[in-house]
Amino acid sequence: MSQAATPRTPIESGVPDPFLYMHPTLKRNYGNWDWHERLRPGVLRHVSRTGESIWTVRAGTQRQMDVFTIRLLCDIADEFADGHFRFTTRSNIEYMVADEAKIEPLIEKLQKEGFPVGGTGNSVSMISHTQGWLHCDIPGTDASGVVKSLMDKLHHEFTHEEMPNRVRITTSCCQVNCGGQGDIAINVQYTKPPKINHDLVANMCERPAVVARCPVAAIRPAMVNGKPSLEVDEKKCICCGACYPPCPPMQINGDDSTKLAVWVGGKHSNARSKPTFHKLVVANLPNNPPRWPEVEEVVMKILYTYKENARDWERMGEWIERIGWPRFFELTGLAFTKHHLDTWTGARHLMNHSTHIHF
């Protein structure tokens, strides 16, 4: 390659020092904050022990941003926020404002440019999402599109704090689940074993590594049409797609096999109850771009049932734990099936070993 001719040795500088870029008020009060309040959705005020205040205005972005959008966000920072900003873990932009008088004009400007102000407190924040068809090598769907479609519908819930507690929604384009756990999670769930191109396996896959990758030992080496390949015991196969990244000829995704599942009750925080994983609610929803209306319908149904029925401060999973799963399925009008009974390691601990019953 051409760059090999004049190699430049990298400077292994590691994680950049945030103090080079941090808003001066944050720098001045680092580690010395006292309390905060939310003045309206999208606006926080933090007060330090010295009495100094900083206001934060939070707005949604598309996460996948072109340089023109980023420069626009920079212009806004220069005009209203002393030339500084940060991003939250859910890709919201946060402008820190030292001058209270600039808050309203900043909000107006953001709204005018199409960036919704909100995502704080008991709202539905931006959906965390993965790469999808835009850039991933093993995607079943396009999370960016699913997220755009859902956030269009959730605009009101982002810009208002009307939920019982915060709602964190996640999406993932395959069962690797890079999107993580969520109050509601929308994840690809494959429904068919991989389709194997036996002509390519020997050249593209290290077969023992692929055999070892299978969580249920369903893959074994085989000779097919005189070529060394792999075969799948389809009765054992759980269609997880773990074999696909190390062996692309074992294609797991496809129009007939890529479906979406909706899960609920994941929670990262330790507040009140311990952290919990999300639980399956609906599977087999169609992968239906560009707007995934079937997914949207289920998500909205669950979200608004929660909004109507949960008590203040109950997260999705905590609400369901109180009312019980029978009532959850009844209220949402969704089906409870044999597929909701876990069969994986540890499943016995998930069954009800009591007479605690919700009638």
Partner 1 sequence: MLYDISRGLPIGLDETLKVGSCGSRADAPAARNEKGTGAMAGKGKSAKSGGGKVKKHPTPMLDELETGPWPSFITGLKRLRDAEDKQYAPMMNDLLGQLEHSYEEKLGFWKGGVVSVYGYGGGIIPRFSQVAEKFPESKEFHTLRVMPPAGNHYDTKVMRQLCDIWEEHGSGLIAFHGQTGNIMFQGATTENTQKAFDALNEIGFDLGGAGPCMRTGMSCVGAARCEMSNFDEQRALREIINEYLDEMHRPAMPYKFKFKFSGCPNDCVNAIMRADFAVIGTWRDDMKVNQDEVRKYVAKVGRKYAIDNVIANCPTRALSLNDDDTLEVDNESCVRCMHCLNVMPKALSPGDDKGVSILIGGKRALKVGDLMGTLIIPFMKLETDEDYEKLVEFAGEVMEFFADNALEHERIGETIDRIGLPAFLEAMEIDPDPNMVRHPRTSCYVRTDDFTEEAQKYFERKKAKQAAEAARGAAAQ
201 binds partner 1 (CB under 8 A): no
How many other C-beta atoms can be found within 10 angstroms of the C-beta atom of residue 308? 9
Interface with partner 1 in residues 43-62 (CB under 8 A): 46, 54, 56, 60-62
Beta-carbon contacts of 32 under 8 Å, excluding residues fewer than 6 positions away, are 48, 49, 50
For residue 71, give both structure tokens: 């420069």
- The conformational region for residue 344 under phi > 0 = left, psi -120 to 50 = alpha, else beta, is beta
34 binds partner 1 (CB under 8 A): yes
289 binds partner 1 (CB under 8 A): yes
CA 180 to chain CA centroid, Å, is: 6
**Phi and psi, residue 176, nearest 5°:** -65, -30
Scanning 97-105, 138-146, 221-229, 332-340 for contacts with partner 1 by CB under 8 A, the matching segment is: 138-146
Over the window 234 to 263, marking each residue x when it contacts partner 1 by CB under 8 A and - when it does not, the resulting string is: ------x-x--xxxxx-x-xxx--x-----
Scanning 80-88, 226-234, 297-305, 322-330 for contacts with partner 1 by CB under 8 A, the matching segment is: 80-88
Work out which of 192, 195, 307, 339 binds partner 1, going by CB under 8 A: 195
Interface with partner 1 in residues 323-342 (CB under 8 A): none
Interface with partner 1 in residues 59-78 (CB under 8 A): 60-71, 73-75, 77-78
For partner 1, the closer CB: 206 or 335? 206
Rounded Cα–Cα distance for residues 145 and 329 (Å): 28
Rounded Cα–Cα distance for residues 187 and 190 (Å): 10
In the block, residue with structure tokens 């996948």: 64
Rounded Cα–Cα distance for residues 118 and 230 (Å): 51
Work out which of 133, 160, 283, 327 binds partner 1, going by CB under 8 A: 133
**Least spacing, CB of residue 17 vs partner 1, in Å:** 7
**Least spacing, CB of residue 333 vs partner 1, in Å:** 26
Work out which of 112, 203, 225, 353 binds partner 1, going by CB under 8 A: 203
Rounded Cα–Cα distance for residues 165 and 137 (Å): 36
197 binds partner 1 (CB under 8 A): yes
Scanning 220-228, 297-305, 309-317, 330-338 for contacts with partner 1 by CB under 8 A, the matching segment is: 309-317
Sign of the Cα pseudo-torsion (343, 348, 350, 351, in order) = positive
**Least spacing, CB of residue 234 vs partner 1, in Å:** 17
313 binds partner 1 (CB under 8 A): yes
Residue 176 contacts residue 142 (beta carbons within 8 Å): no
For partner 1, the closer CB: 7 or 226? 7
**Least spacing, CB of residue 133 vs partner 1, in Å:** 4
Rounded Cα–Cα distance for residues 136 and 191 (Å): 20
Work out which of 41, 97, 109, 128 binds partner 1, going by CB under 8 A: 128
For residue 134, give both structure tokens: 């835009």
